[in-house]
Amino acid sequence: MRRRLLASYVAFAAVVLLVLEVPLGLVAARQLRSDALAGLDNKAVALAALAAEDLEHHDTIALAAATASYARRTGVDAVVLDASGAAVALAGAQTLLTLAHGVLRAPGPVSGDVPSGSERLLWAARPVPEPAAGEHLTPAASPPPSSAADADGVVLVATSSHLLDDSVHRLMLGLGVTAAAVVALAVTIGLVLSGSLTRPLRRLEHAVAAIGNGDLGARAPESEGPGELRTLAATLNAMAVRLERLLVAQRDFVADASHQLRSPLTALRLRLENLASRAGPADREDLDASAAEVQRLSRLVDGLLALARAEAGPTERAAVDVVAVARERHGAWAALAEERQVHLAVEAPAHAVTVLAVPGHVEQILDNLLDNAVEATPSGGTVVVRVAASSGAVELHVVDEGPGLPPHVRRRAFDRFWRGTPGGGGSGLGLAIVQRLAEACGGSVELQDAPTGGLDAVVRLRST
């Protein structure tokens, strides 16, 4: 956005400069040319006044000397023709003769410019004697008059156009420098103005992103930027406060309800076990089914309590040795895996591999993944816990040999209360807890196909 605002400021300044400076440059260049021709015409007037008497008395020697002296003094080339077109004085290039013959018949003053080699010549011509007062300079492009009966001759002065060209170039350079300075000023002002608008927007964006990532304590600045942005920031902060209160109340309710339900469910399970021990064969089947349902409810309550604790738990991260955690959890789960005739293995480097994680979260992640993997793997199968380090990240794999899940089912596996087998065991909260714990550690979790046909649960964490 800042780039677009800055580009709009610069484009506006450029358009204004283009509209103003291009006509100004053309008018100024035209005026410089007009002034140069007017100066030459003044020199031609002066030379015509000098040549009038000598030309009238046909004193060609004095006329030539006066013309040469005047040309040296004023820095111009000059030629004087008599009424017949003969050159009676020349101080300059021979090309002036051709030019002078072309304007001999003009009844008044004329001027213009003509090419001469690699440059152009500016010239002005005056009849001798001068025309009556009130006659004006006739442009060279005008059709020449048909007669000059009263003229004794004509004088023509010329000079190179390089001085005029240099003046025009300096003018254009000055306009260019002015335009560059104005554009630089527009860029500076644009940076200041766009920054005053985009800085609050960026902070508002960061606050929205933080809230979207679960940091409900993030707030947008309410005292920066235009009034509309301040109002938007205040609205966002109010929404974040309400959302935080709602989520805290929800987590507290889930945690309190789960905690309060644990004791009644434990008592109910003990009563059912006591009844089952004294019941006859006809009632034992119903009591066992009821005990199994109570056990499932207990696991569901435990899962809800674990999820509430994961969402409301600490988020400060520290260095955790994943290899040490993997070996420790292997020891904790080896007995249960052996009881179910499942081989549990660890593949990890011999050295420590550390990640940034919330203390205790990696252990809970492994417990939930191992619980699912051991339950899904048939007797005689193998569950592998693998630690793989790469640049900037560490991958923790839990690979089973169960039936696996198709891709469209794996996408829903992290939903709360979702179970791959309808009516099967489990609370449907294990993978949701894993995902929440991984995100709290700044990582992610994904289910992939395992080479053995089961599932490969991949947890990615940032290395230290």
pLDDT band per the 50, 70, 90 thresholds, residue 2: low
Same domain, residue pair 387 and 451: yes
| Structure tokens given for 185 | 């000023």
pLDDT band per the 50, 70, 90 thresholds, residue 106: low
* Range 9-15 average pLDDT: 79
User: What's the structural domain count of the chain?
Assistant: 3
Residues 6+ away with beta carbon under 8 Å from 173: none
Q: Is residue 172 part of a domain?
A: no
pLDDT at 377 over 80: yes
CATH number of the domain that 271 lies in?
Answer: 1.10.287.130
What local confidence, expressed as pLDDT, does residue 416 receive? 67
Domain with 110, as residue range(s), is 2-167
CATH number of the domain that 99 lies in?
Answer: 3.30.450.20
Asked which of 107, 132, 167 is the last residue of a domain, the reply is 167
Listed as own residue / partner, the contacts of 248-254 with beta carbons closer than 8 Å and 24 or more positions apart are 248/312, 251/308, 251/311, 251/312, 254/304, 254/305, 254/307, 254/308
pLDDT band per the 50, 70, 90 thresholds, residue 134: very low
Q: Is residue 178 part of a domain?
A: no
Q: Which amino acid is at 84?
A: S
Same domain, residue pair 250 and 281: yes
Same domain, residue pair 250 and 105: no
Same domain, residue pair 393 and 412: yes
Same domain, residue pair 455 and 430: yes
Q: Is residue 173 part of a domain?
A: no
- The mean predicted confidence, pLDDT, of the chain is 79
What local confidence, expressed as pLDDT, does residue 301 receive? 67
Identify the H or E element spanning 120: strand 119-128
Same domain, residue pair 249 and 337: no
Asked which of 313, 344, 364 is the last residue of a domain, the reply is 313
Same domain, residue pair 338 and 439: yes
pLDDT band per the 50, 70, 90 thresholds, residue 268: confident
Q: Is residue 327 part of a domain?
A: yes
Same domain, residue pair 302 and 219: yes
Encode pLDDT of 156-185 as tens digits. 888 888 888 888 889 888 888 888 888 888
| Contact criterion met (CB below 8 Å) for 115 and 158 | no
Same domain, residue pair 112 and 14: yes
Q: Is residue 200 part of a domain?
A: no
CATH number of the domain that 404 lies in?
Answer: 3.30.565.10
Q: Which amino acid is at 320?
A: V
Cα–Cα distance for residue pair 266/291, rounded to 1 Å: 10
Cis peptide before 129 (omega within 30 of 0): yes
pLDDT band per the 50, 70, 90 thresholds, residue 384: very high
Q: Is residue 96 part of a domain?
A: yes
Same domain, residue pair 263 and 298: yes
Same domain, residue pair 340 and 305: no
Q: Is residue 202 part of a domain?
A: no
Q: Which amino acid is at 175?
A: L
